[in-house]
Chain A
Amino acid sequence: MHADVTSRTIEEAEVALQQTLGPDYRLMTLVSPNIARRARPGQFVHLRLPGLDPAYLLRRPFSLHRAVGDRITILYKQVGVGTAAMARLRSGDRVSVMGPLGNGFPPLPDGFHPLLIGGGYGSAPLFFLAERTSQKGVVFLGGKGRTDLLGDSDFKALGWDVHMATEDGSAGCKGLVTAMLEKWLAEHSSLPTVWYACGPDGMLRAVALLAVEHGVQAWLSLDRRMGCGAGVCLACVVKIQDPEKAGSWKWARVCRDGPVFESRQILWEGEFA
């Protein structure tokens, strides 16, 4: 699609640091020079976790939260056997990392203002993008409660304008991040913007609808269950508009053709071209 995927590698990376980020989230920093050097915002890595029960075979995909010098950082939530094994890793442990994978976010076009919309740990790749985008913009973070809003102070430290929303009202506006975005848009209708979003499907779908309504380009990073991470197994497919045949769809591999798609490309469940 909009980026090539020709410079991947598999390397044994050393865990440099494990940090907690509130009660539910963690940051893992790995020394992975060949991947750190090549990675662009929106790309991901596929990890083979040494502490994982060997009865489970697959690597685990994680979007890149940062890539600085020879290090990469992953932001994760402990949700299953893979992330539990990850949480047990300590400094000095070694992890096989395949990457960088996927297309990544396309760069901000000149004359546009970037808006980042993150749901929960969907803010992870957006921070990488903010770090690499010289033009400061606006960040919208949403989550169920305060502990799901990640990195707000980091975005602020970069000079970005941060708006927060929680469903339970424990921080920022009470309600959905997309409602907050909509309100902001009403107040800034003349500003030319490009959107970058990552989060749960429900949020992305709402962002996609708003993007159409406002005639804005919105780049969405999708999260799907993956097998190989390299475009081979065809497990992580999503329906997209077939660019060659108006009115029909085709499968795209989130791992290889994505994970970033322009919002109009995606056909959500129940939607057929």
Chain B
Amino acid sequence: MSVPRLETAIGRIRMKNPVMTASGTFGYGTEYADLVDFRQLGAMVVKGISLEPWAGNPPPRLAEVRGGLLNAIGLQNPGVEGFTRDYLPALRELGIPVIVNIWGRTLEEYEAVATRLEAAEGIAGLELNVSCPNIKEGGIAFGTDPAMLERVVRAVRKQTSRTLIVKLAPNVTRIDPLARIAEEAGADALSLINTYPAMAIDIETRRPVLSNVTGGLSGPAIHPIAVKLVYEAVRAVQIPVIGIGGIVEARDAIEFLIAGARAVAVGTVNFTDPTAALAVVAGIRDYLVRHNLSDVSELVGSVRGP
């Protein structure tokens, strides 16, 4: 049989396959340039950009825990001006859609970043980070409070003509009302999940392992949580959903697709194997062949009843 079709679309972003790399796990396009053929990726999401350069948290910023990683980088980034000047030119050369994750401490900061990026060339979409657990102001507060979520999505929507993806937090009682609010406020797509708030303690020193005390858990430990939330979000909205959380190999991504995700993002595993996302693409293709499917869209949302 012929090679199955892997093309998918998220808003106006056309992707040659449904696999992107998640924010904060793949740099700015140059760090892995000699190790990875970027053109084989569906898209890449750049680490959270804010209005001003941001130093993030002091080290230790990372802890390895069973089944995952705990991080509190604290959104260190060069600021929107530094990003467009120093990093965007190389990203434009990658030949794949570049999605910029953005965040702010206030509504005005979110708006200002979106406005500045509207003027820049070579950006396919924005991913609105309303779910970072590691900064003191803003961040996750925007993603867990329905009224704040609506305001920030609406505000950014007014500033951008690009595909707007809203990245939701997992630590909410119910995901469906927040998913609906983001959709009604103008989001073109949702991505979920961000890291899960968590903590580790060094039993010898009895101190938190991270300088920030708490951090965000990523990796395979959170994958089933993400599958459940993607499954529920897909049922709540019409817009596409991007599944993120603990993908290690193709089967994890396929689970998201079956749950209804139109695309997936590969994150933590990139640190172990920068070519993991490419292996996921190949694995999805093999799965489609094996199951006699000619188009990945046949898989999306194909989950059956219990």
Please list the residues of chain A having a beta carbon within 8 angstroms of any beta carbon in chain B: 6-10, 48, 53, 55-59, 96, 98, 224-225, 227-238, 251, 256
* Known interface pairs A227-B71, A228-B270, A234-B61; 6 further A-B residue pairs with C-beta atoms within 8 A, sorted by A's residue number: A53-B66, A56-B64, A57-B220, A228-B271, A229-B271, A230-B32
Asked whether any CB of chain A lies closer than 8 Å to the CB of B119, the reply is no
12 example contacts (A-B, Cβ-Cβ < 8 A) are as follows A57-B219, A57-B220, A59-B272, A228-B271, A230-B31, A230-B32, A232-B32, A233-B62, A233-B71, A235-B61, A251-B55, A251-B56
> Distance in Å from the Cβ of A213 to the closest Cβ of chain B?
28
Top 7 A-B pairs ranked by shortest CB distance?
A235-B62, A228-B271, A55-B66, A232-B27, A231-B31, A235-B61, A232-B31
Query: Given contacts A232-B32, A251-B55, are A225 and B60 in contact (CB under 8 A)?
Result: yes
Across the interface, do B34 and A7 meet the contact criterion of CB distance under 8 Å? yes
Contact partners of A234 in chain B: CB under 8 A: 24, 56, 61, 73, 76
Asked whether any CB of chain A lies closer than 8 Å to the CB of B68, the reply is yes
Which of A6, A8, A57, A236 is within 8 Å of B69, CB to CB?
A: A57
Considering the complex, give the chain B residue whose CB is closest to the CB of A228: B271
Query: Across the A-B interface, how many residue pairs have beta carbons closer than 8 Å?
Result: 89
Complex Cα distance A232/B45, Å?
13
Query: Given contacts A228-B270, A228-B271, A234-B56, are A58 and B32 in contact (CB under 8 A)?
Result: no
Across the interface, do A57 and B35 meet the contact criterion of CB distance under 8 Å? no
Complex Cα distance A57/B219, Å?
8
Complex Cα distance A58/B269, Å?
8
* Dominant SS among interface residues on chain B: loop
Complex Cα distance A228/B36, Å?
14
> Distance in Å from the Cβ of A88 to the closest Cβ of chain B?
19
Contact partners of B60 in chain A: CB under 8 A: 225, 235
* Dominant SS among interface residues on chain A: loop
Contact partners of A96 in chain B: CB under 8 A: 273
Contact partners of A56 in chain B: CB under 8 A: 64, 66
Query: Given contacts A8-B35, A232-B270, A251-B76, are A224 and B66 in contact (CB under 8 A)?
Result: no
> Distance in Å from the Cβ of B35 to the closest Cβ of chain A?
6
Which of B56, B71, B274, B275 counts the most chain A CB atoms within 10 A? B274
**What range describes how many residues of B lie at the interface?**
20 to 34
* Interface residues as binary, B44-71 with A (CB distance below 8 Å gives 1, 0 otherwise): 0000000000011001111010111101
Query: Given contacts A8-B35, A237-B61, are A230 and B69 in contact (CB under 8 A)?
Result: no
Across the interface, do A236 and B59 meet the contact criterion of CB distance under 8 Å? yes
Contact partners of B25 in chain A: CB under 8 A: 228, 232-233
Contact partners of A53 in chain B: CB under 8 A: 66
Across the interface, do A58 and B66 meet the contact criterion of CB distance under 8 Å? no
Across the interface, do A256 and B61 meet the contact criterion of CB distance under 8 Å? no
Asked whether any CB of chain A lies closer than 8 Å to the CB of B131, the reply is no
> Distance in Å from the Cβ of B46 to the closest Cβ of chain A?
11
Complex Cα distance A253/B254, Å?
34
Asked whether any CB of chain A lies closer than 8 Å to the CB of B142, the reply is no
Across the interface, do B61 and A10 meet the contact criterion of CB distance under 8 Å? no
Asked whether any CB of chain A lies closer than 8 Å to the CB of B163, the reply is no
Complex Cα distance A50/B61, Å?
26
Contact partners of B61 in chain A: CB under 8 A: 234-235, 237
Query: Given contacts A58-B64, A234-B61, are A256 and B31 in contact (CB under 8 A)?
Result: yes
Query: Given contacts A55-B67, A232-B27, A251-B76, are A10 and B35 in contact (CB under 8 A)?
Result: yes
Which of B32, B62, B66 is within 8 Å of A225, CB to CB?
A: B62
Query: Given contacts A232-B26, A233-B71, A235-B71, are A57 and B34 in contact (CB under 8 A)?
Result: no
Contact partners of A256 in chain B: CB under 8 A: 31
